Structure 1
Amino acid sequence: MTQTLPVGADGATNGYIALVAKFTALQKAANGLLDEAELLAQRMRRNADAATTLADLSAAAHVDPAHVAAIADVGNAFGQVVGGCKRLMSAADTMHTAASHLKQEHQAEYGPIHAAVTASRARQAKPGFYQQT
């Protein structure tokens, strides 16, 4: 799932189309992270429930209290992982939303300019040409 997005100083890697593609990739990565974190949280919740059940059954079978406590600690650790996954899911959702807004703003700001530039047969100046020094 580790995917890096190309970043560069030239117009080709930071042009309108390239940036839209980067924002889309960022949205997809955040969505993938959200899905993976949700699946992990579900699996850890099942593990926590199983450990709690095992601790209860062990206590009912008069297993040494130290072992029952160790099993309960494992269940609690799984529960803490669930909490971490939920925080990760929240962060991934925030990132997905922010990337979506950024993409929309980028398209609203630069989409018409890009459309006008691509519709023109005239050769266009490189980015930054019109900046005053």
Structure 2
Amino acid sequence: MHAADPANIRVGARVIECPTCVDGSRVGYIGGPNTLAVRVTGVPQAGERTLTVVYETEQPRTLKLAVDDGPVRELTLAGARSWLIPARTSVRLRLPKGACWIRFFNDTGSAPDINTVTVS
């Protein structure tokens, strides 16, 4: 799923042009009150899934994520130390059957920019 997809919910976060990103853009300005929420659909049964996030950052940043209103996971991501070199990270999350929202945020600082999100 592309983070800049119009179906996603961006509160304060904005789409930024990015020549090295999938589809030429990513979502930035995530942090403080600004968030990105990506809808995941078609989960055949509840259980653990791997979430892979392609992101960009110049310095280490914290990315927090939560499935619906569930517990918050916190990741410290160093990235490739460039806004033009995508990096990736994967984390195991418990997803419900059917559909859910995965919220990306950092209420205490700036998060990395997000390009794509994949669930497998």
Q: TM-score, normalised by structure 1?
A: 0.17
Larger radius of gyration: 1
More strand by share: 2
Normalising by structure 2, we get a TM-score of 0.18
